[in-house]
């Protein structure tokens, strides 16, 4: 574990470094705040000890800078002139702890232990969120930058969003990012695949049912709207929902209340609805299979997710991302992709979009040799 000590007093820096090095820690030192921030920009530290009273850039300014940089390290402020107000201000600004000089070895070691646990917890939480909500969208092409900008603008609001796009483009990922970046991120995120639920069960699945309301209703069941109360409900493949269920969804969106199947009691719900479809809903409206009033309720914001063929510039980034992800999950040895092989992947027509690309990358990792070559792509992809 790496530790950084930022202090303008040489004796403090050196003595603390020796003590911590003896305890088995990898320790770096910086003689001022400016140098310390530069070192943090280049190295990953688990714990940073920072003096408050320093020339040029004092400890509070360093703390602000570290927050601005998004540093994950636990920052411990140290000072020989500390008081309660200073300590409180440090903690409010995100410091992990505040220690007064002269420094006590036992206190420092306990603080490092607690700080390490905190850093691990933050990393585990971030990993769990990635597993639950998905990763950031990979890509720097103009269409993806537009999508990311839309998500950043729309996520903090409660506006309903309709996500449209072909199968395999990543509509679910857009929905998860909308939730993760919203004020509802600490509340439930509930997904419903409307195409996967039989039409006779969709109402029970969405709105719940009372015990005995139909033959197999052996106990009361809370529907997806109730499960998502306070959070986000993602209605995937909304174009496949029956007209009867559409009417009930419209009522919930209009009145913010529902009734379970077999009950006439109203239940108030606070849910942000995000919907997605690969169908042209305006065509479905013309055919009479989708309600126009529901369409207008759902489409306050419309996000059109591009096909992979519309964002070919992102394919090299996606290939590298999938290689790292698949190798981490399966324990396979990471392989490099030759330039000619990458060119073939970029030029291929991707009818299955991102989903197809990931499958192809996994196939190449399994079947290729030490490197992924153009011959491998021609043999296993084309």
CA atoms within 13 A on the CB side of 332: 22
Give pLDDT tens digits for 23-38.
999 999 999 999 999 9
Alpha carbon distance 269, 283 (integer Å): 31
pLDDT in tens, 62-84: 999 988 887 888 999 998 776 77
- 3-state SS, residue 276: strand
Structural tokens at position 284: 């479905």
Helical (H) or strand (E) element with 268: strand 267-268
Q: Which of 107, 88, 92 is nearest to 49 (CA)?
A: 107
Rounded distance, CA 117 to CA 16, Å?
21
Q: How far is CA 53 from CA 61, 231, 335, in A?
A: 10, 44, 50
Supply the pTM of this predicted model.
0.66
pLDDT class for 132, splitting at 50, 70, 90? Answer: very low
Backbone angles phi, psi at 216, to 5 degrees: -90, 10
Helix, coil or strand: residue 373: coil
Mean pLDDT of the chain: 90
In order of their start, the domains of the chain are: 2-130 (3.40.50.2300), 142-304 (3.40.50.300), 309-380 (1.10.8.60)
Q: What's the N-to-C CA distance of the chain in angstroms?
A: 47
Q: Band of the pLDDT at 359, cuts 50, 70, 90?
A: very high
Q: How far is CA 60 from the centre of its chain?
A: 30
- Cβ–Cβ under 8 Å, residues 188 and 223: no
Highest average pLDDT, of 69-78, 257-266, 365-374, comes from: 365-374
Q: How far is the C-alpha of 65 from the C-alpha of 37, rounded, in Å?
A: 7
Lowest mean pLDDT among 128-137, 250-259, 300-309, 348-357: 128-137
């Amino acid at each position: 574990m790496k530790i950084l000590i930022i202090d303008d007093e040489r004796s403090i820096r050196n003595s603390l470094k020796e003590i911590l090095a003896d305890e088995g820690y990898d320790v770096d030192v910086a003689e001022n705040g400016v140098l310390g921030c530069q070192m943090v920009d280049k190295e990953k530290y688990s714990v940073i000890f920072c003096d408050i009273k320093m020339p040029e850039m004092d400890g509070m300014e360093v703390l602000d800078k570290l927050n601005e940089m998004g540093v994950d390290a636990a920052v411990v402020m140290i000072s020989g002139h500390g008081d309660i107000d200073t300590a409180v201000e440090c903690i409010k600004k995100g410091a992990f702890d505040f220690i007064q000089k002269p420094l006590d070895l036992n206190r420092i070691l306990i603080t490092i232990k607690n700080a390490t646990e905190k850093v691990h917890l933050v990393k585990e939480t971030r990993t769990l969120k990635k597993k639950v909500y998905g990763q950031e969208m990979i890509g720097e092409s103009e269409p993806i930058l537009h999508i990311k900008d839309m998500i950043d603008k729309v996520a903090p609001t409660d506006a309903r969003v309709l996500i449209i796009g072909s199968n395999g483009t990543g509509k679910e990922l857009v929905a998860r990012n909308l939730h993760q970046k919203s004020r509802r991120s600490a509340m439930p995120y509930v997904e419903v695949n409307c195409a996967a639920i039989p039409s006779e069960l969709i109402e029970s699945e969405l709105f719940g049912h009372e015990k005995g309301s139909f033959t197999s209703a052996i106990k009361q069941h809370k529907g997806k709207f109730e499960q998502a109360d306070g959070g986000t409900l993602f209605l995937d493949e909304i174009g496949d929902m029956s007209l009867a269920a559409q009417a009930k969804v419209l009522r919930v969106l209009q009145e913010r209340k529902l009734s379970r199947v077999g009950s006439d009691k109203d239940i108030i719900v606070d849910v942000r609805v995000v919907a997605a479809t690969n169908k042209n809903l305006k065509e479905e409206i013309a055919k009479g299979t989708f309600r126009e009033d529901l369409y207008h309720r759902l489409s306050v914001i419309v996000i059109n997710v591009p096909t992979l063929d519309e964002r070919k510039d992102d394919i090299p980034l996606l290939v590298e991302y999938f290689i790292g992800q698949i190798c981490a999950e399966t324990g396979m040895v990471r392989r490099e992709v030759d330039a000619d092989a990458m060119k073939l992947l970029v030029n291929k027509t991707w009818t299955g979009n991102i989903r197809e690309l990931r499958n192809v990358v996994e196939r190449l990792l399994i079947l290729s040799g030490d490197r992924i070559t153009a011959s491998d792509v021609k043999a296993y992809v084309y």
